[in-house]
Chains A and B, each alone.
Chain A
């Protein structure tokens, strides 16, 4: 048989496979057409929705189409590769005059074609919708890019699944192992990151890594990210490279593993004998952690680890039973469970150590592009592109105070049994006598190499308080309060005296607002800590329509209060 004849046979089998799966393909396609353009058309017809901005919803529709077609792809993959798991079907397919690699390629191709057909039809439906008059369609190119992205990600996910398919002993094991790896690894990653955050007190660091540990996570995050901006920047080259590159890699791996696969005996079909053990370790690690979290929230308690060990062993036995289709050679799976416990311990300790180290890291000044500082309670953020020294000093102070070093201010709080808050500028300072629950100052460093480092801390010292205020007096900060957008600010003045509730308000000029703040700042810097900690204060609010700021002014700050009364009079 010549290679031409081989190709001809493969094509004939491909066309036959397409025919066999046409019913389910059309069913899913019909369902998708109900959604788009069906639902959109209904909205268009039934309402005055003539300015429907489809462009802004392309991400959502792409995600819906991608999800539905991915489900179809999984069904078709299972349907088309039944010969990998059933001896009866293997007799039918492997006796055919076609090479095994061609058979795998043809069956995968047919499954992908079915899913791609459904996706393409759905996008064509969206295209028809876009032709309706009076609609903001999002543009032909935007839609074309969405379609291409959907197909590329579909190929990526389906080639990943093919890799699991050729490495599984049954359909159930295929579903189990792909879920364990594609969901379990991100979960392990998140668990590690949580340990990192817990160890690095007051540190929050986000990572892009999570996006890259699972093709499915990558797909959904990419659709979300890309399509929010699809009209602006279009389909990114990196997305195309990653999707197609990884697809080719996974397909090549699938073929290599399929070549080594033993289909003859159920239960030992794995191309690499380590595969079921590896999957069992991951499943036991994730399962053990989930069970431990369900029964014991605190990871520092002994019972958490007892539950984790118990859970890991149970999940390992279950996973082993799925892989070996029975409860044989239990000791092997129990060892996997034991390895999973060690992995979890190592993972959590490793990430804790990393977190502790990173909690003390302050980026070098010459690497910093900008720093954004932000307080909690919806206070606005301010970005500094200069004046880094004060912020770095503040950060250094925070790092020094990370580990329970009680400052003079905290001691005063404890001594006087005070639980109060002081607001300076737009940064809220939370103090409590017992426990500080939430971080209230967040630094986001944007480095010159594009990397972002985010750190959040709570404030617990007077030194920090004053530093924050001094930061608030910088030009950048002042500019954020320059009342440029609205020519005038609006001030309100309250007494919190129980007997005398005074409420006064007035419209101030930007200069008056700034003067009021400066006066308050000057008094604050001179003040004794005990004076600041008083609960006997007057609340002063400043607002300009864009920013809102509340100052808690102690009654002893006579200059500020006098000025406020004058301005509000």
Chain B
């Protein structure tokens, strides 16, 4: 039997979920005995290949997020929304209370201390979406693991159950939205 491949990515997030993933600590050794890692900041592989599990941290705030997310969806058998931002936009989605115009003007034109500001328009910079979107509004998501971040224990429980093909049930103290 081939070893399951896992990929991870952080979209509009803070990498906190990835840090929490590292918080499974010595259990990482056990994990790497059973799985291979594809694209993830841990391997520094830049392009994703066919995978069994994709863990997505962060919501979609710009066109690049959408592109990465779609690539993950195409390549992954199971896609997981990992953490609050992937699930409902999280903290970045607090910008949805304002229009993009208001936000960019405040940040780059009218904000305190700005002189002759201009809205960045370098084509290198991904275009912003009008809002930050939860990833399940862009692609189909198979599993949700809440938390800001989900605790290392919750991630460990989740991965164990997912990889063993069981129904995923987290103990009470491992379900939290913050």
**Pair from one complex:** no
Chain B residues with a Cβ under 8 A of chain A: none
Identify the A interface with B (CB < 8 A).
Answer: none
